[in-house]
Chain A
Amino acid sequence: MKIDPTYVQQARDVETVEELRALVQKAIELEHATIPPYLCGYFTLKLGTNEAVGDIIRSVAIEEMLHMTIACNLLLAIGGRPRINTPDFVPSYPDGLPFGIGDEEEPDGDEKTFKVHLRKCSRMQVEDVFMKIEEPDQILDIPDVDMLGEEQRHFDTIGDFYLFLIAAIERLGPSIFKDGHPQIIARKWFPNPKEMFEITDVETACEAIRVIVDQGEGSKDDPFDEFGEPSHYYRFQEIIKGRKLIRVPDADPPYAYAGEPVVLDDLDVWNMDTNASISKYKPGSMSERMAIQFSYSYTRALNALHDTFNGRPEALDDAMGIMYELRLLAQQVLSTPAEWADASNKQQAQTGLSFEYRTTNT
């Protein structure tokens, strides 16, 4: 994913632990910012349908939650305090994402084409938004069943930012690691000790960041991460290619989109209102009530996560409980026809999932 080069530069120039903490806080915000669009994708798939697509999006969303947790642990390890339940933590979609994501100018000066919209699941959303978010430094040319090729491209990405962050940690050395609030090693939810471990020194910090980069972007010569799963970009591409990515040992390259079919049936997707917000809906309408309730519940999840990383690790259980409530609530929201404040709603859409910072259920 392309980011504002200023941040890569900042990571390059880090000289103090304070500067490092500020950047790690930004990384937490970035990892979080990907979750609402993925949840919109996942929650708009009607239950019992589109299961292969749902598994893909859900698995990536869970890994983003893991990455957010790792970034929080890193900040704790270097004496910082994750700030999660503040108004500016929550991005406004499609503008105002961290790292200037979606703000880059197109080379030909045309209107910006990449925006992180909160939309229902569709091939367009997967290709134009999800895969853009996860776009690695270098895209591998992977054959699909029709042996279609991909053109090679090159970007500066969030992966570069993380690599410079590793360099900064190595440069600053062991003195930046401090005993602070307890880190979250939630074996109950993330049982793999290679994914989730305590960060205590330069080595474990760098290893933790590599988990994020590896699962997100993969390596430059293998689309699979060290856990055997396709990295996020290639996992999403399975939806576009219509097949799971599998290893083909004797072929060149030794992998292809030739596995089990991955079918997205648009008829079994809720017709969700795009980029929903509370103010979009008619005051006093059930649409508005649903948008407020969803935003308030989402804010409660952020509160629980904030507590989790600020001295109350057991609050992670509460955060998990709220995530399941959001899943149920999403279905109530999506089954409510949208009533817009301006009474237009020509799309006949259903009320959308609004991820807004709302501290009261009012």
Chain B
Amino acid sequence: MSYLSLPNLAFSGRFQADTSTVNNNVFYYNTEKFDPSYQAKALLVNDEYPAVYGYWNPEGTGAFRLIDAKVTKAQTSVDDPGTDDVAVGLFINAQEARTSAKLVDLDPQWQYGSMIFGLRIILTDGTTEYMRGDYRPAPFRDIYFGRKPAGHGVQGSETASAKFTSILENVEFTEAAEKSPILMALKASAESNDDRLSINLMTGGFSKQSTYGIMCGSIGPWEQGDPLAFVAGRRFSIDKAGSAYNGMCNSNGIGFFDAQINGTTLSADLSNALPQDAANQARNIGDLGFAIITVADEVRDIGKRTGTAEPVIKTGAYVGADDVDLIGTIPYTADNWLFTTSGLCQLTMTEEQTKLAAERPLALVECREDGSFRIMSRETPGGFFVRADNFEFRLDPDFATPASDHVHILGLQYGAPCANLPISIEPQPRTSGGSNFDGPDQPSIPIPDVNFPENKISIADHVTTSDAGWVSVPFVARNPDNPREYVDGQIFQINYGPAINGPFPAPMFEMIVAHVRDAVHVPDDPDWETDVAPFMQQYDNLYPVMSKWLFSLADPDVVKDHAKILAFAFERPFEDPNHMPVTRDMSAGKRQIILNWLAKRMQTAPPQVMPKSDPPPTIENRGPAPVPLAKVTAADWQALHDALPAHDDGKSMAARNYALTQIAALKGRDT
């Protein structure tokens, strides 16, 4: 089950991402070379930014807010129009009795998985609450640059949309919810599943000048055993053969998306998949429907080195009625369809179709006037789908004790858990971390490399799924010992995917990424100048809203004056929206240093935020992978690079820059 299964609530509205942008440029982490002009806002002149300065929102607070959000549809069955339940029209409130949620990057050199922390969702009619739940922190995935046309001041990340898929935890319903059959059904589901529901938010149509964008989403059932941050279902992937391929969408302009079959109902989520027009609506690309491809893919030797899955009927193919079995069409060109339905499609299959769909790939098809079909997008070859449920890590090794964690990966075939599925795991080689800006006002300093020293991270290079389809892969991170010099710790990127020969391209930024922080000596009585000032000055530079509008974190007297509130904020867990620093990129050791310093000033005992060190797990090296991962080539990165506008700032500039480093690295490797 998941947010796209029935029963579910669809909602839409706007969002605000008031993120600080000074930290979008890795150069600005260099405290010695920092110039006050890097905190100035870049001005848009003739739809371009002539100078970068501190990008488009240097004084951002990190707040992530939902605005004008309302339930638009509440559907129990395929035939239910979803307009009758009392839940329709309820407001989706964020927070209600606490500070705003926060949206933050993992690191300047990994801006492709911004994570929401501390978001509480509340359904209310404005007076009475119906339901509440806490969004489990999860980053966006499947970012799709270029989904909306560029031009007229819209550029870079303003053309993008992405999906935040997670669960609501600690879900509670009030008596008022008893009036709503759908809320009662969701309540029954949550009560037998750890008080959890599934949730998705699609964000897009962002304006850097205003910091607002459009949003739609849905809430549906979650069941024990389901992933926490993706849909265990049928994955519609891109096809590298497409001419417009840029790693985010296929040649028909359709991005990655998910579907699920429960009983005879096919549920699909097109919220982040269909190309948009300038008004953020789904663009008319023909009469669309869902179908089953009746011709089996070529699948052989899975689990062996020769294991292969190749599609026979590919994306872009024109086929007759014998090759596909149409399930139904989707009214996506209806007025405001995307924001009324949140892009969810519900179709009923016949018993025969249900049986067939269990062993054949699904497709999104264009239904042509002559009775033929064009494959607009299709399921992964052989229905094989591998995805990590947790893939963004913040780790704090000590000098002697490494940090460790597990990546939980699920393997599926045609939506069902797939046992003994081979998975390759491949830490990426040393490369430039990018995320800098080239310009006359920029400091002349090196761009730090990432993924080194290679021996600081250990993970098995090949695993296979259990009978339940899951595999938990331990990994160990040792103190990287400051390889990036002016940026704390190191970024390690790890690719993974099914070890099957065939076209299994992952979304461009789909990988396991860890920010492994530098170990740091934590004195009981830290000295401001030597122990605290270096990193507090950096934070003060990168997050100017504090010094401009609240108080300076670089001045020990001021910090002492605000000791109580700072001690409170620095000891909060990441999940708490009050956590400082907002960016959540300060190591536990550094936070412990500031807490120790504050405690001395307040004459109290400092709270402990340093993690307890458990013995690291043993990494079982299971031998060489039977087949290498599907490789992203230099040409793929070049296509992505070319798809992004040259004169932009912020995230798409970082992406463009990152693509350049990948091109250089892959070309080097190829020769």
Contact = CB atoms under 8 A, between A and B. Distances in A.
Are A and B co-members of a single complex?
Answer: yes
Interface in B38-83: 61, 63, 65-70
Contact of A321 (B66, B124, B577): B577
A315 B578 contact: no
B91 A318 contact: no
B564 A361 contact: no
B99 interface: yes
Contact of B95 (A47, A286, A289, A300): A300
Contact of B97 (A293, A315, A324): A315
Contact of B564 (A188, A328, A360): A188
Interface in B358-395: none
Interface string B544-577: 0100111100000000000011001100000001
B331 interface: no
A327 B550 contact: yes
A307 B124 contact: no
B549 A47 contact: yes
A289 B65 CA distance: 12
Contacts of B66: 361
Contacts of B210: 286
B175 interface: no
A90 B578 CA distance: 25
Contacts of B124: 359-360
Interface in A346-362: 359-362
Nearest to B93: A360
B63 A325 contact: yes
Given A300-B96, A361-B94, A320 B568 contact: yes
Interface residues of A, number: 27
Contact of A328 (B65, B127, B550): B550
A318 B93 contact: no
B68 A361 contact: yes
B263 interface: no
A301 to B, nearest CB: 8
Contact of A318 (B97, B549, B564): B97
B50 to A, nearest CB: 23
A328 B580 CA distance: 15
A304 B61 CA distance: 21
B100 interface: yes
B623 interface: no
Interface in A297-325: 297, 300, 303-304, 306-307, 315, 317-318, 320-322, 324-325
A324 to B, nearest CB: 7
Contact of A327 (B70, B91, B97, B549): B549
B601 interface: no
A324 B99 contact: yes
A4 B571 CA distance: 47
B521 interface: no
B98 interface: yes
Contacts of B549: 47, 327-328, 331
A289 B69 CA distance: 14
Contacts of A322: 98-99
A189 interface: yes
A325 B68 contact: no
A142 to B, nearest CB: 29
Contacts of B36: none
Nearest to B100: A325
B494 to A, nearest CB: 35
A318 B98 contact: yes
Interface in A259-290: 286, 289
Given A300-B97, A303-B96, A362 B550 contact: no
Contacts of B550: 47, 324, 327-328
A99 B67 CA distance: 36
A360 B99 contact: no
A324 B577 CA distance: 12
Nearest to B61: A328
B97 A304 contact: yes
B126 interface: yes
Contact of A361 (B93, B545, B569): B93
A127 to B, nearest CB: 28
Interface centre among B65, B68, B95, B551 (most CB of A within 10 A): B95
B98 A321 contact: yes
Contacts of A359: 93, 124, 126-127
B91 A317 contact: no
A361 B126 contact: no
Contacts of B577: 321
B241 to A, nearest CB: 45
Contacts of B65: 293, 361
A328 B95 contact: no
A360 B66 CA distance: 10
Contacts of A188: 564, 568
A362 B68 contact: yes
Contact of B91 (A297, A331, A360): A360
Contacts of B551: 47
Contacts of A318: 97-99, 578
Nearest to B65: A361
B210 to A, nearest CB: 7
A360 B98 contact: no
Nearest to A361: B67
Interface of A: 47, 188-189, 286, 289, 293, 297, 300, 303-304, 306-307, 315, 317-318, 320-322, 324-325, 327-328, 331, 359-362
Given A47-B550, A321-B99, 13 more contacts: A286-B210, A300-B95, A307-B97, A315-B97, A317-B568, A318-B98, A318-B99, A320-B565, A321-B98, A322-B99, A361-B67, A361-B69, A362-B68
7 contacts: A300-B99, A304-B97, A321-B99, A327-B550, A360-B91, A360-B124, A361-B66
Nearest 6 pairs of A and B residues by beta carbon:
A321-B99, A303-B97, A318-B98, A321-B578, A331-B549, A304-B97
